[in-house]
Amino acid sequence: MRRVAWVRVGALGDLVVGLAGLAEAMQRFSDAEFVVVGSKLWTEILQPAAWPGLVAIEAVERRGGAPERFEVEAGAWVSRGVLGDLRKALSDCDVVVDTRVDSLRFAIEAWREGVSERWGMAPPWAAWLFTHAAPHYGKDPLLHERDVPLLILDAARKGWARFRSEASADDLRRSVKLSPGIARWRLLGLPAMRHSMRDPSSSGSADVNVLNPTSSRREKAWPSQKFREFLYARPVDEKWIVVGAPHETEWLREVAGERFRIVQPQTIGELFQLLAQARGLLTNTSSMQFVAASAGCPVVTLMGRADPRIWGPVGPHDVYVRGQEPQELEDLFAREQAAYASIEVEQVRRTWENLKVRSMGSPSHLR
């Protein structure tokens, strides 16, 4: 049986949004077993029972470090320790699909090990590293992070066609339009990273709404007082919980006060299960919007400077509200903070009401 190494590194959001690419690759190489190469977070994200055909995770936590190998035992990921360097892990594979387009590190290692089939995206001068190379669209193309791995699979070329000149914005739009993978996952959102305990016979939505007011920095979040104003104006018969990380208690209390319950999931699995049971999520731009998409939970995402074409929500019924960025401010954090502050509570309320109408019924990929 062939073995495929699928490479994706990054923070939680980078990994979760790549789930569509992993699912698509597993469908394309349906006769192969898969190894995921990337962060150790993959062991929390990917439930083995939900991803048949995935036999191992090679956790690479730092540049130049040896990967820690995880294999499935009794339905869970178990560490087998460091079984060799990265080159050894790749040499055991027949195919490498490298979704990291901002670095050639993994491409070079796969080439040095002589992996017979190597998929990726690179500028023309580096296309020789791959046997199947997708056109490179320059720095910061208007392409959603979910769609990058999909385009690699759909637009990669063999032979001399790999070395064509740098692609243009028009080429990118054309490639996106012609990509069956991108078209499919724009309808589906993201695959479920794990099995949900939601009752598949239920014909209606859960009755709990989730609000996540936090972010990596205060400047990258809607002000707490506006979240609180929105929350305290909701009808008294609506059920809301305020969700955040274990270390964000003070921030969460600023919004929840004494009236609303605070939930702080300890693991990604707990967060996924919570969102799989929820009617909808209101959040800042963060990895949580992608976990929600995987769980089939509709989302309203509040966005500051981030471009929704690159980092917007991905669920088929998700929507976003974007603030006005003041270009006259030089400091990027100040611009981010001002953009979030410009979003009005009434605008969010109207958008949320629209989401409620669109979220009736269980998500199809969790039925």
**pLDDT by residue (tens digit) across 29-64?**
999 999 999 999 999 999 999 999 999 999 997 776
Element (H, E) at 21: helix 19-28
Task: State the DSSP code for 136.
Answer: P
Q: Please list, in sequence order, all residues whose beta carbon lies within 8 angstroms of the beta carbon of residue 13, skipping any fewer than 6 positions away.
A: 145, 286, 287, 290, 311
Q: How far is CA 281 from CA 65, 190, 199, 211, 247, in A?
A: 37, 16, 19, 6, 20
Beta-bridge partners for 217: none
The CATH superfamily of 208-366 is Glycogen Phosphorylase B; (3.40.50.2000)
Question: What is the model's pLDDT at position 198?
Answer: 56
- Residue spans of the domains in the chain: they are 2-188, 208-366
- Token digits of residue 304: 């500051």
| 219: Cα within 13 Å, side-chain hemisphere | 11
Answer whether 2-188 and 208-366 agree in fold.
yes
How would you list the strands of the sheet with 54-59, edge to edge?
Answer: 76-82, 68-73, 54-59, 32-38, 2-8, 95-98, 117-121, 132-134
Question: What is the model's pLDDT at position 197?
Answer: 65
Q: Please list, in sequence order, all residues whose beta carbon lies within 8 angstroms of the beta carbon of residue 360, skipping any fewer than 6 positions away.
A: 204, 205
Q: Write phi, then psi, for 76 (nearest 5 degrees).
A: -135, 160
Give the global pTM: 0.91
Task: Count how many residues are written for the chain.
Answer: 367
| pLDDT per residue as tens, the chain (367 positions) | 899 999 999 999 999 999 999 999 999 999 999 999 999 999 999 999 999 999 999 999 777 678 999 999 999 999 999 988 888 889 989 999 999 988 899 999 999 999 999 999 988 999 999 999 998 887 778 899 999 999 999 999 999 988 887 778 888 889 999 999 999 999 999 999 998 765 444 434 468 999 999 999 999 999 999 999 999 999 988 999 999 999 999 999 999 999 999 999 999 999 999 999 999 999 999 999 999 999 999 999 999 998 999 999 999 889 999 999 888 888 888 999 999 999 999 999 999 998 864 444 444 443 3
Judged by phi (left if over 0) then psi (alpha if -120 to 50, else beta), residue 347 lies in alpha
The CATH superfamily of 2-188 is Glycogen Phosphorylase B; (3.40.50.2000)
Q: What is the pLDDT of residues 121-176, one digit of tens each?
A: 988 999 999 999 998 887 778 899 999 999 999 999 999 988 887 778 888 889 99
